[in-house]
Structures are given as structure tokens and as C-alpha cells.
């Protein structure tokens, strides 16, 4: 009880980190001068760093902050999980809402289950070795950035606008909240109504993770998180450790019951260091001031402090987590089953693809390896053109960004997505590069196109085409119109060599439903079988 302030200080740091994360998510939009900061959180994940470096066959210096986290873990244990991790904060926050069944997990299962996260880590890395980027799908940092960018933010953005739409027309009240609305639209609300295709599929993973808390607090962090596994390995040697004064301890088991990680055992006396996330909740729980956190040699025993330990019985429990032989074998077996699952992708075999990638994206194969599916590009896009794919490009393309021109086009003189990409899956472009960066090619569906099909004037596509000499041209011809007469109209066609596939023509096409001009990927960028 005496040291409970450490619990509140830690909680305050966690809230601050969460707000920093949210601030970065919200401000991932125009104007952006230097995009480094917006990808900071995913860069903190060494799991992403290692897996992506392996998958992309290149050491990615972008993930240096992850190494710093690892170094700090050697001093402070698995502090990252209870302070910095936004997914951890989300799980902690939802903990009050999601009721847990007491003792739902048998202690033996709870103990053995901790090994699963090492299997997940092994699977993630072996898949990376096989050229499958699965790390981005399950890593807590790319997962939270993706969920907050494409689901949580649009949800609250929409809710706020709905509230203001209701409040603003009310006489008197409208004038009062008007300035607030103006302030919010300038700062946090999105400029346009923002909506993401496949948002439900993105949310699904988070819902599953939160529901797991029904069986144990921080179920995900204890049993599944691959980054947690990595930090547990380092944190096992962490020097800041929980120690119990056995003379003061009355074995009330409060700390053991309250521990969110299930890291305390042996009647409150012992700690599994790699599992302890330094949340200091036990300091708050203990009414006898028996618990303290000290710098201890990384090779010291995991049990209560030395003088007291002699008087209590010693039980054989794993003190440090480790990748067991079983985890390695299970992980390898699981990977062997998963690799074909990811790689047997129809899109790899097909000689065409419907998926348009952001401007500056690496060739499709390399892109799939380097993209960590964090959604930063989608949040940054000012026209809401980039959306998470689901199974459109197979399991290996899950949550990768795709451009859907009917929803938004690739804005000329805009390189925001290339600025914020944390891994370089989208190469940085300069403003001038955009004019020649080809992401696709437009084609007409003449059965839908107004001048071709109905003999009426249109050529909106030509008007909005941003290429210098216009990649949409037209020839004037006399064609039959719908009234049985004939009429002279401009019939548009595409100059494929000039078209950059930005998709503004498809977006602005006045035909109802699907557009009469559409963008497809270029042949050269289509993944070949392999």
C-alpha cells in the first residue's frame, strides 16, 4: 500500500503513451513534412523488424527503435507491455467491461499456455523466412495502428459529425457549439466523410483478442503475442524485479489474484520475470508492504528475497521463460502447414490482378514482403482512396493497402502515403515524381460510357485527367442517338502510354454504379507465378 503510487505513475505513463499514439493516428494526414514520426509505433516492434527484415531479405534500419526497446527491456523487464503498447492499453481499458469467469483456466493449462506465444513467434519468423509476411497481421503494433486508423477513428469521426449535425440546427445551441465544431474539424475530425472497405474484417481480429479476456486477463499478452514472447525472452533477464519480503508476507494471495499477467505464484512469493510487465498492481494490492521492486542481478533466483527464501519451501517452477524444444517443433510444424496456405494464392498464378497498389509501391512480390499492414498509408490518403484488402489478393495479401478509385483517386501533387510508410514498401516519392509514377491504366467500358452507348456529350474523364497532355483523347463522330436520330459527339479513348492510372476519371465518371472508365493494374506490375 505504501508504494501504490508507483502503480498510478505507471498507469499515467500508459495513458500518456496511448494519447501519443492516438495523436499520431489522428494527425497522420495532410499536411505532413516528415513522415518518420507517424510510423514510430510500428518501428518500436522488434518482432516486426526481424520478421520484415527476413521476409524482405534486407536489414531494415527503420526498426532501430525496436532495438532500443529491447535494450531497455534488459534493464526494466517487460515494461513495454504495460506502458507503451497501445494494444495492451486497449486490452486493459476493456478489462472493466469484459467480465471474466473466475478460475476459467485451470492453473496447469494457464502455465503451459504461456509457451504458445513462443510458437507464434517461431511461426511468424519461419513464415518470414519462406517469404510470407504474416508478422504484420498479428503484431500488436501494426494491428493497433491498423485498427485505430481504419476502424476506431472513422467510427468516432462519424459519431461526432452525427452529433453536430443534430446540434447545429438547434437555435441558440447551434451558435454555441458552432465554434467548437469548427475547431474540431480543423484539428481532429476528418475533412471528408471517411470510410474504409473491409473495416469489419480489420475489426474482427481485435474483437477476438478482446473476447479472449473472458478466460483470463490479458489473455493475448500472456499466451499469444509474438512481440510479448520476444520481450519476455529479454525481460527474463531484466534487472528491475519484484521481490517479496517473506517475513512481512501473510500469503493472502491478493497479489497473485490481481496480477494481470498471472506472473505470480508460490503463494505470492515467486515471480516469473519474463511474464511480469512491471505494472505494479501488486504494490497496490499488498496491504502489508511486503512487495518492492529492486534492481537485482539478471541471474538471481526468481523467488522471494534471499533471507526469507531459506525459510520457505522451494517449488520447482520455470523462473525464466524460454523457447522450449516443444515450442520449436510445434512452431516448425505449424509453419509447414501454413506456408502453402499463404503462398497458394490464385493472384500469384493469374496473369492479371485487380489490386492497385499505392504510388511508389515496390513490385508486387517485394511489396507483399515489406508491407507490415499498419494502415498508415490509408489514414494519410486525403481522398480516402486506400483501403485494407481482405482476401482479394489471397491470404498473403490480407490487410495490404489497395486503391479503390470509385471511392477515392490518387491525388496529383500528393505523396503523403509514401511519406508515412514505415518500412519503405511504398518508396518515398518527391512531388515531381508523381507525374510519371504509373500505378495502373484506364480502360473504357463502351457499353456504359455515355457518348459511346447513348450518343450524349460527356467527357468528364478527359476534363479531370491530370496528365500534362491528357491521356484521354476523343474523336468527334456522328453516332445514332436513343431517339432514332443521329448526333455528333466526342467519343473518348485512352492513350495507354500517357495514362498513370490515378483513377480520378473512374472516380468522377457520372455513370451510376460502376464507372464506365476503370483502372486496372499494368501488365508489368502483375505478380508472376512463383
Residues that bind other proteins (CB under 8 A): 30-31, 165, 191, 382-383, 411-414, 450, 456-460, 462-470, 474, 490, 504, 508-511
What DSSP character marks residue 33? S
Least distance CB 192 / other proteins (angstroms): 8
Residue with Cβ nearer other proteins (6 or 474): 474
Assign residue 491 a region (left: φ > 0; alpha: ψ between -120 and 50; beta: otherwise). Answer: beta
Least distance CB 185 / other proteins (angstroms): 8
Residue with Cβ nearer other proteins (155 or 191): 191
Residue with Cβ nearer other proteins (334 or 464): 464
CA distance 355 to 333: 32
Least distance CB 288 / other proteins (angstroms): 59
Secondary structure string (H, E, C) spanning 484-529: CCEEEEEEEEECCCCCCCCCHHHHHCCCCCCCCEEEECCHHHCCCC
CA distance 320 to 302: 8
Residue with Cβ nearer other proteins (173 or 306): 173
Least distance CB 129 / other proteins (angstroms): 41
Residue with Cβ nearer other proteins (159 or 346): 159
CA distance 28 to 43: 15
Nearest 5°: CA angle at 52, between 51 and 53? 95
Least distance CB 280 / other proteins (angstroms): 44
CA distance 446 to 442: 13
Least distance CB 459 / other proteins (angstroms): 6
* CB proximity list for 6: less than 8 A, separation 6 or greater: 280, 283, 293
Residue with Cβ nearer other proteins (286 or 460): 460
Residue with Cβ nearer other proteins (121 or 449): 449
CB 196, CB 387: distance < 8 Å: yes
Least distance CB 31 / other proteins (angstroms): 7
Distances in whole angstroms, Cα of residue 151 to Cα of each of 218, 338, 411, 469, 512: 22, 28, 23, 39, 27
Amino acid at each position: 500500500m505504501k508504494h501504490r503510487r508507483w502503480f498510478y505513475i505507471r498507469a499515467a505513463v500508459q495513458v500518456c503513451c496511448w494519447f501519443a499514439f492516438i495523436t499520431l493516428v489522428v494527425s497522420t494526414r495532410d499536411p505532413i513534412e516528415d513522415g518518420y514520426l507517424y510510423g514510430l509505433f510500428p518501428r518500436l516492434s522488434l518482432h516486426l523488424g526481424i520478421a520484415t527484415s527476413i521476409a524482405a531479405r534486407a536489414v531494415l534500419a527503420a526498426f532501430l527503435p525496436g532495438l532500443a526497446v529491447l535494450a531497455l527491456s534488459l534493464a526494466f523487464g517487460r515494461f513495454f507491455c504495460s506502458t507503451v503498447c497501445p494494444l495492451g492499453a486497449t486490452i486493459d481499458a476493456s478489462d472493466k467491461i469484459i467480465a471474466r469467469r473466475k478460475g476459467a483456466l485451470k492453473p496447469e493449462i494457464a502455465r503451459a499456455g504461456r509457451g504458445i506465444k513462443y510458437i507464434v513467434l517461431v511461426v511468424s519468423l519461419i513464415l518470414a523466412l519462406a517469404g510470407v509476411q504474416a508478422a504484420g497481421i498479428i503484431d500488436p503494433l501494426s494491428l493497433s495502428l491498423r485498427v485505430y486508423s481504419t476502424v476506431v477513428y472513422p467510427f468516432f469521426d462519424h459519431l461526432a459529425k452525427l452529433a453536430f449535425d443534430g446540434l447545429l440546427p438547434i437555435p441558440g445551441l447551434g451558435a454555441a457549439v458552432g465554434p467548437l465544431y469548427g475547431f474540431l474539424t480543423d484539428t481532429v475530425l476528418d475533412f471528408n466523410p471517411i470510410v474504409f472497405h473491409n473495416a469489419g474484417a480489420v475489426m474482427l481480429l481485435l474483437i477476438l483478442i478482446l473476447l479472449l479476456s473472458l478466460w483470463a486477463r490479458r489473455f493475448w499478452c500472456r499466451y499469444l503475442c509474438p512481440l510479448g514472447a520476444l520481450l519476455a525472452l529479454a525481460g527474463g533477464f531484466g534487472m528491475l524485479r519484484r521481490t517479496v519480503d517473506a517475513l512481512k508476507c501473510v500469503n493472502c494471495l491478493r497479489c497473485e489474484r490481481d496480477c494481470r499477467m498471472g506472473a505470480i505464484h508460490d503463494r505470492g512469493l515467486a515471480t516469473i520475470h519474463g511474464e511480469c510487465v512491471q505494472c505494479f498492481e501488486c504494490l497496490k494490492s499488498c496491504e502489508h508492504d511486503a512487495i518492492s521492486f529492486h534492481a537485482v542481478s539478471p541471474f538471481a533466483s526468481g523467488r522471494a528475497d534471499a533471507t526469507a527464501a531459506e525459510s520457505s519451501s522451494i517449488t520447482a517452477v520455470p523462473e525464466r521463460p524460454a523457447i522450449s524444444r516443444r515450442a520449436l517443433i510445434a512452431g516448425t510444424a505449424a509453419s509447414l502447414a501454413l506456408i502453402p496456405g499463404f503462398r497458394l494464392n490464385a493472384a500469384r498464378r493469374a496473369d492479371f490482378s485487380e489490386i492497385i497498389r499505392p504510388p511508389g509501391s515496390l513490385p508486387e512480390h517485394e511489396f507483399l514482403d515489406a508491407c507490415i499492414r499498419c494502415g498508415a498509408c490509408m489514414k494519410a490518403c486525403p481522398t480516402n482512396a486506400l483501403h485494407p484488402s481482405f482476401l482479394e489478393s489471397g491470404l498473403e495479401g490480407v490487410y495490404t493497402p489497395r486503391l479503390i478509385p470509385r471511392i477515392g483517386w490518387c491525388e496529383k501533387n500528393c505523396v503523403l502515403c509514401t511519406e508515412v510508410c514505415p518500412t519503405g514498401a511504398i518508396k518515398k516519392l518527391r512531388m515531381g515524381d508523381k507525374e510519371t509514377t504509373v500505378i495502373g491504366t484506364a480502360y473504357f467500358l463502351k457499353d456504359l460510357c455515355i457518348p459511346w452507348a447513348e450518343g450524349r456529350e460527356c467527357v468528364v474523364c478527359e476534363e479531370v485527367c491530370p496528365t500534362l497532355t491528357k491521356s484521354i483523347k476523343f474523336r468527334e463522330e456522328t453516332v445514332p442517338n436513343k431517339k432514332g436520330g443521329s448526333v455528333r459527339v466526342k467519343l473518348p479513348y485512352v492513350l495507354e502510354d500517357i495514362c498513370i492510372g490515378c483513377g480520378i476519371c473512374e472516380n468522377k465518371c457520372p455513370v451510376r454504379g460502376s464507372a464506365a472508365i476503370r483502372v486496372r493494374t499494368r501488365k508489368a506490375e502483375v505478380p508472376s507465378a512463383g
